[in-house]
Structure 1
Amino acid sequence: MSPLPNLDTSRISTVVPATPRGENHGEHNLNYMDLLMKLHYIRTIHLFDSEAVQSLPFSDLKAPMFPLLDSCRHVSGRIRISESGRPFIKCNDAGVRIAEWQCDKTLREWMDEKEYSVDGLVYDHVLGPDLAFSPLVFVKFTYFKCGGLSVGLSWAHILGDAFSAFSFITKWSDTLAAQPPPKSLHMPNLTKHKSLSNSITDYPISVKKATLVDKYWLAANDSYVATHTFHITFKQLHHLATTFKSTDTHTKYFEIISAMIWKCIAQIRGDYGPRVVTISTTNVSNGVENEFSRNDFVLSRVETNLSPGESNLSELVNLIAEKKMNENHVLKKLMEESDVKGDFVVYGAKLTFVDLEEGDFYGVKINGKKPVMVNCDIRGVGDEGVVLVLPGPEDNDGNNGRMVTISLPGKELDQLKGKLEKEWGIQYYSRLGC
């Protein structure tokens, strides 16, 4: 995918905070984790049917952005580089970009053709080449021929993690529903299931040095990395849990799904199968809500001396659940020693599993209606690949499956599709009831 913007939208405009501040511009300092993630971008879509949209005009969708940006002004700022070389955000109210696109397909036709992909529904943006003029956020509204709507977000990861991105869109929908925007935005209050293992002290494996693409904040890949989303139904989740035969009631579906995919990818890669992987989990150690917008997660390594492809599922699940080694401390040290000037790849430096399943991503509503589908992927993934696990839509019984979005080198992804269907009954694409 080209780092240059995709200009297939019919209309692009800029939204700034509702309250002008004149020349009283502030600065938003970036911490080590923000800067570590600067080459990555979070992309989300929320798809609504025509009953939810009820022919809402574009002006009504755009209007809530103005007061929303009052509560998070750095989101509409621009990157600057200090004399020491450290990036920061100048809160100059330069704004976020809003794109409107009219699609000549129905929502059903689009999904049958594109499946669950975010491509085409999210504005294709990266920071650069002129950072002073590069928006940190794009929101793209796509109207379908049937009256349905997609709300697509492209979010520079330097602003905050995936929960921050989803929180931003949730607060937009709250404001759309005439709820006053908060003075500050907050992350979901997640449940802490297990404590993480002790921090490691050696060099972190969860990052690697990056080669930049020209003057853009985007890393180059050695191979073509493709992305595909699998919908795992609640019935299939139950089957996976039964196969695992866990006696631990706290075992998460994320851990079982990650173990299954780790095992499959190891078999595909053969002797080169990954014996070390990275686990990204939300930082809930303090038991309190985290302030919006920040990169507040834990990167951990999981290692095994055994072949993951030959291990049984329970062994890999227990490794992921019990043997994570927190790398945040050494990551901070690495950034401090490099004077935060280094460029790193995090997602895909090693095979990376991202736990998003606790998020209330269906809390975004239009006219009181939930989206029929939500998805998320990450741009800037390294060659080892990344797996995101997030909630799926509710079925007729009110149960949630999982959306599993996987980015891997193209040939490996094709093989994985076949293995998941043949061995686990997980199809390439299963229609949602929308």
Structure 2
Amino acid sequence: MSSSAAASNRVAVHSKLTVVSDTPIDPGKTYPLSTLDHAMALHTLHLIFYYRYDRRDDDLGRLRHSLAEVLSQYPPVTGRLRRRPQDGNWEIKCNDAGVRVLKAKVAATLDEWLSAAAPGGGGCEEMDLAVWEDMPDEPNVWSPFRVQMNDFEGGGLAIGLSCPHMHADPTCATFFMKSWTDMYRQASLSHPPFFHPPGLRGRETPKTNTKSAKYYESKSKMETPVSLKMSTATFRFSEKTIKNLLSDIHNRCPDATPFEVLAALFWSSISNFKTHVGNQPCSSISICIDIKKRMYAPLPHGFFGNALHFSRVSCNLTEMHEGVLDHLTAQIHDHLSNLDEEEFWSAIEWLESKKSAEGQLPPPFTMYGPELTFANLEHVQAYAAMLGNSKPVHVSYHVGGVNGEGLVLVLPSPEDGLGRTVMVTLPEGEATKLCEDQAILQLEPTILLTNR
């Protein structure tokens, strides 16, 4: 059931079915989840791809058939979760049980939905376009991957893809969606899945005295904040705006990326309005990056599972109060530039060092929080997931289980180049304040799907 069902009745699910793969799986096949997969157990992923696409009557059959075809390439997606008897860790029983598919109608046009949403709904109402469902205590018959196809009035389609974060990180889930649309277009898979959980297993001689290991240690001991109702705002910045921002800070940080300057901008703005209402500014943030291509032996794009690394950047209160954009950008850039492979391995090895005597991995803790977290997703190929000749007009990424100060995702935009989309999830009411922040508004972003 959608977490925002009370906020909106514009999305009506009218049918459900199960899609299984075209090719049967060999009996007894299992797929163990990796150390990093287990670490994400408190979170879920929800991707929504919007298409200005007038679906013909036979297209649903084609979409279903192409989904069945691509599932043959992704056995873990159709399987079911279970605990391994020997150590209690999670694995997937690849049993062809299939993927749950829901069909829904939206009482709005695509443009109405993206530009305004319902009063009081906005970014939260968008969650109705994907499935939000807690994993049951006994998940052996539960479909971890769920798809919701949403038809808009007058044409337009939104496809919501949901799964436990244990199964996939945002990059992995995006490539699954792209593989599906490749099959729909009868094209070869651009990045076939690569199944190899040991690809991110700790080394024989672990090292757990790095900054990253110490950060994960402290993170595991943080108290889980009281669960708050969260709100979401989406900002789209043009390529011209990003170029101007990078030009403004060029003297101080000539190699800055769009992610780094946008993270600095939103870090400063969020801290400023927290200070104005008497709260503590965010003197430190957590940064999440994809590490597949930062390893000495890079993992393929199609690596199936989680390949995320979290680290902390801090700033003293005086610097935060001044909010100098080039200073904060340089701090973030220097931090990310100095993260090496040793840090990535040490985080994995710290998690593995906490195994029980029986080999069970440690209980999960909140990764997206409790401090304000920035995730760099500007590399995801969301707009390459084309239906026919139509690429998405917008793609949203939501993470379930966000706690504490909030989450900021930096994503690509529909146009090629340096344009970026920023999705911000904050405690209720703070997203509205952010939409009124002059440092952001002067950049003239397009604001979408926002609780206003």
TM-score, reference length from structure 2: 0.82
| Structure 2 residues not aligned, in runs of 5+ | 196-209
Report the Cα distance in structure 2 between the residues aligned to 1:5 and 1:76, rounded to whole angstroms: 27
Corresponding residue to 1:254 among 232, 251, 259: 259
Q: Deviations over 1:248-306 (max 9, x none)?
A: 54310100000011111222232621222111112112345244312112222212334
Residue 66 of structure 1 is matched in structure 2 by 68
Secondary structure (helix, strand or coil) at the match of 2:419 reads: strand
Q: Which residue of 2 aligns with 1:353?
A: 374
Shift of 1:327: 6.2
Instruction: Write out aligned runs for 1:339-418 (5 A).
Output: 339=356, 340-394=361-415, 399-418=417-436
Counterpart of 1:103 (choices 90, 102, 106) is 106
Residues 3 and 126 in structure 1, CA contact (< 8 A), matched pair in contact too? no
Q: Following TM superposition, by how much is the alpha carbon of 1:14 offset from its aligned partner in structure 2, in angstroms? A: 0.9
Question: Which of these residues, 313, 318, 322, is aligned with residue 302 of structure 1?
Answer: 313
1:132 aligns with 2:150: no
> Does structure 2 conserve the Cα–Cα contact (< 8 Å) formed by 1:85 and 1:341?
no
> Which amino acid letter does the alignment assign opposite residue 305 of structure 2?
R
Determine the C-alpha separation between the residues in 2 that align with 1:99 and 1:87: 26
Partner Cα separation in structure 2 for residue 261 and residue 228 of structure 1: 12
Cα distance change, pair 365–428 in 1 and its aligned pair in 2 (3 A): closer
Conserved? CA contact 1:420–1:427, under 8 Å: no
Instruction: State whether residues 3 and 128 of structure 2, in contact with CA within 8 Å, keep that contact through their aligned partners in structure 1.
Output: no
Aligned mates of 1:168, 1:414 — CA distance in 2? 33
| Within-5 A mapping of 1:416-427 | 416-420=434-438, 424-427=442-445
Three-state SS of the structure 1 residue aligned to 2:328 is helix
Aligned-pair identity in percent equals 26
Residue pair 2:123, 2:232 contacting (<8 A) in 1 also = no
77, 80, 104: which one aligns with 2:79: 77
Task: Name the CA distance, whole Å, in 1 between partners of 2:114 and 2:213.
Answer: 46
Residue among 26, 30, 35 paired with 1:32: 35
Quote the Cα distance in structure 2 between the aligned partners of 1:74 and 1:321: 36
Aligned residue in 1 for 2:18: 14
Q: How many residues were matched structurally?
A: 409
Q: Distance in 1 between matches of 2:163 and 2:241?
A: 32
Aligned equivalent of 1:223: 228
Whole-angstrom CA distance in 1 between matches of 2:137 and 2:221 = 20
Distance 1:206 1:376 in 2: 27
Q: Would you say 1:234 and 2:239 are equivalent positions?
A: yes
Deviation by residue 1:107-146 (Cα, 9 ceiling, x = unmatched): 1122233266642211222322431122111111111121
- Asked whether the 8 Å contact 1:186–1:292 carries over to 2, the reply is yes
**Cross-structure match for 1:266:** 271
1:341-399 superposed Cα distances (whole Å, 9 cap, x missing partner): 413110122211111112221111111221111221211111121110001111xxx54
The question of whether the paired residues in 1 share the 8 Å contact of 2:246 and 2:261 is answered with yes
Q: 1:119 to 1:368 in 2, by over 3 A?
A: same
2:205 aligns to what?
none
Give 1:99-178 correspondences, 5 Å limit: 99-114=102-117, 118-178=126-186
**1:57 corresponds to 2:59:** yes
Q: Aligned-pair RMSD on alpha carbons?
A: 3.0
Contact 1:364 1:371 in 2 (8 A): yes
CA displacement 1:49-98 (0-9 Å, x = unmatched): 136x4555311111111121111111111111123322221112211111
TM-score between both structures, scaled by the size of structure 1:
0.85
Aligned pair in 2 of structure 1 residues 288, 300: CA closer, same or farther (>3 Å)? same
| Cα separation, 2, equivalents of 1:242 and 1:229 | 24
How far off its partner does 1:180 sit?
4.7
1:54 touches 1:147 (CA, 8 Å); kept in 2? no
2:287 corresponds to which letter in structure 1?
I
Query: Is the CA contact 1:170–1:363 (under 8 Å) kept in the aligned structure 2?
Result: yes
